[in-house]
Chains A and B, each alone.
Chain A
């Protein structure tokens, strides 16, 4: 306080309009809050959590931890090496799930994975081994990894390895296969498997050679690829790093291309192989998504385990359930039914063909980009027939439920305001505003692949559930 009872020239008001009017009538600047009752049944828990003496500093620490992380690409390696994934073990997107509850696209992806690993000759033969437990399932998130859409990871798949140089913490993500008929959308046709084999035999090892060569290069253009830095730039180039990754992909290509050309032959690959790899990456606008996702996870994992913090550290979907985890509730998932996205469909597909929401890619929204950065990529909002003002309004709305802004990731059209970062379970329950997620849509029948793209929100009830647990823990601390 600069002064004992300074004249409030600007007052924030909530509630009775007449009292706000009375201030306006005194030539006081008034910021009116559009207050509405919180989500039903959350009143008591909201008060408990707001009154938790740990909360303010815990959330400040959590946000600071998230914003302090820098993600660098340090290696590319098979999942068997870096995740310790054994034969017959499968990772998938979202919270834990069993085969009997798995959706079409997740089943399709797992079947493709089983065939890719040579566990079955024909993908159609795989379901029995999943059903009887011969093949085991686990979430990517439980191994420090994230996977888009079905998120299926098998031991022979190659993974990006991201590292925070401060702490040495790492996260992982598979390589992006492109759009259309691909494993992550649940397709398992022979061309899908053939592409996966080429990625394991050629693309992965080539990228490893290039990534390692760049990391080892001590010249100014060398050093590990700065994924966080590319995200900073692409967000000012029309990408929101979830449904639009075009600029990011090209910047990655720019960083890696010289090393692919020089290190490729040393690793035993032909010029044709290098050309094919360059063409594949350059021709796949979503290639960078699989770096944006683990970069976001790396940042959010820094906030895990902070007692009293109400910040969401993961939002993930397995095609059946939508789950969240928070900084203050350990590894517990709060889940509800995944929703079907609203959006545009490829070709003749329609809403009836779409599977409910799937994938770990909502980690981007959790970290404040994707749907949260819609204002920087207004093209995306047209997926639901929205306008540019809608895109700006979406990002502004997300600021209502987040703890802070990311000073690195800025939105030019909003006067370079930082992206809304750190979803607060309490704020979601207070406002009823649900996180806005940009997503692709998988066909609900295994094997179909992508049917469209659109916008989706989590099931509302998982936020009150997480809040109730946070309140319970706060009460237990007394």
Chain B
């Protein structure tokens, strides 16, 4: 038995599933499985702790990285003969954020360089449109870039999650994202789905958690440390998320937005989109 920590939603999806699950990607530190329309990861301590994964404590996956088969039985994921059992629930929700005093996140030079380089890879109008809350940005960004989590999706996820944190509605963009999820990889579509629900990486949550201190003028070092940690995530994923977060702040500070009456009401159920 391999104990794992997971978000309640991953546990519940496993409980509802049964039978073989295909392995869509495997590496030393992470394994990704297709659970219907959802990409569920098994991540070791050395991997990025995506909000749709079972996290195990070991530094890498060891023999699990080489599994031949995966299946779900009685709500438990089995990798060959090893049962990966959820023994702890992790909170992947983005911290609540008071939108009223929101200000742009200052960047130290290193982070600014990385974020600048990432922005240069994207079509110029995309960020401008996104900062204006224009859903036309979505088609320019979804699936844009290489790898399992294309850069354009990271930017969108960072943007969506900050709106979720501050309780600000962005129905036009959110609807567009839901419509276009099929244009990107399964993992990336899952992460966008997570962002729509306000589910984020711990490093992203840490930046949001550090914002109030920064806004109050007391927590600048804590924010800088959190920003540095976020930028280190993945190849460009962390920088993309940060760029999305900053673009969201531009959006929220430049125009009036109406708060959501029910934070989850605009999010379609997880079964609602093809991947």
The residues of A with any CB-CB pair to B shorter than 8 Å are 2-3, 7, 9, 24-30
Contact = CB atoms under 8 A, between A and B. Distances in A.
Contact of B206 (A2, A24, A27): A2
B19 interface: no
Contacts of B225: 2
B112 interface: no
A66 to B, nearest CB: 29
Chain B binding site: helix, strand, loop or mixed by DSSP? mixed
Contact of B90 (A3, A7, A25, A30): A7
4 smallest CB-CB distances across A and B, nearest first, come from A26-B88, A27-B5, A29-B57, A27-B3
A368 to B, nearest CB: 29
A29 B91 CA distance: 18
A3 B56 contact: no
Nearest to A23: B57
B197 interface: no
Contacts of A3: 206, 209
Contacts of B56: 27
B199 to A, nearest CB: 15
B176 interface: no
Nearest to B91: A7
Interface in B74-125: 87-88, 90-91
Given A2-B225, A2-B226, A9-B45, A27 B87 contact: yes
B55 A27 contact: yes
Given A7-B90, A9-B45, A26-B5, A2 B57 contact: no
Interface residues of B, number: 18
Interface in B199-228: 206, 209-210, 222, 225-226
Contacts, number: 35
B4 interface: yes
14 contacts: A2-B210, A2-B222, A3-B209, A7-B90, A24-B3, A25-B3, A25-B87, A26-B87, A27-B4, A27-B57, A27-B87, A27-B88, A29-B58, A30-B57
Nearest to A28: B57
Nearest to A30: B57
A29 B90 contact: no
Nearest to B88: A26
B181 to A, nearest CB: 29
Contacts of A30: 57
B209 A26 contact: no
A6 to B, nearest CB: 9
Contact of B45 (A2, A7, A25, A29): A29
Contact of B3 (A2, A7, A9, A26): A26
Contacts of A24: 3, 57
A450 to B, nearest CB: 48
Contacts of A2: 206, 209-210, 222, 225-226
A3 B209 CA distance: 7
Contacts of B55: 27
A9 B56 CA distance: 10
A393 B164 CA distance: 52
B6 to A, nearest CB: 9
Contacts of A26: 3, 5, 87-88
Given A7-B90, A24-B57, 17 more contacts: A2-B226, A3-B209, A7-B91, A9-B57, A24-B3, A25-B3, A26-B87, A26-B88, A27-B3, A27-B56, A27-B57, A27-B87, A27-B88, A28-B5, A28-B57, A28-B88, A29-B58
B41 to A, nearest CB: 14
Contacts of B88: 26-28
A320 B15 CA distance: 73
Nearest to A22: B87
A299 to B, nearest CB: 33
Nearest to B206: A2
Contacts of A7: 90-91
A29 B222 CA distance: 25
Nearest to A7: B90
A7 B57 CA distance: 13
A105 to B, nearest CB: 52
Interface string B34-72: 000000000001000000000111100000000000000
A4 to B, nearest CB: 9
Nearest to B226: A2
Nearest to B90: A7
A27 B3 CA distance: 5
Contacts of A27: 3-5, 55-57, 87-88
A24 B209 CA distance: 28
Interface string B1-27: 001110000000000000000000000
A2 B87 CA distance: 25
A7 B89 CA distance: 11
A378 B222 CA distance: 44
B133 to A, nearest CB: 30
Contacts of A9: 45, 57
A24 B85 CA distance: 12
A230 B256 CA distance: 67
A9 B90 CA distance: 11
Contacts of B90: 7
A3 to B, nearest CB: 6
A459 to B, nearest CB: 42
Contacts of B209: 2-3
B218 to A, nearest CB: 13
A26 B4 CA distance: 6
Contacts of A25: 3, 87
Nearest to B202: A7
Interface centre among B45, B55, B57, B90 (most CB of A within 10 A): B57
A26 B86 CA distance: 8
A235 B163 CA distance: 56
Contacts of A28: 5, 57, 88
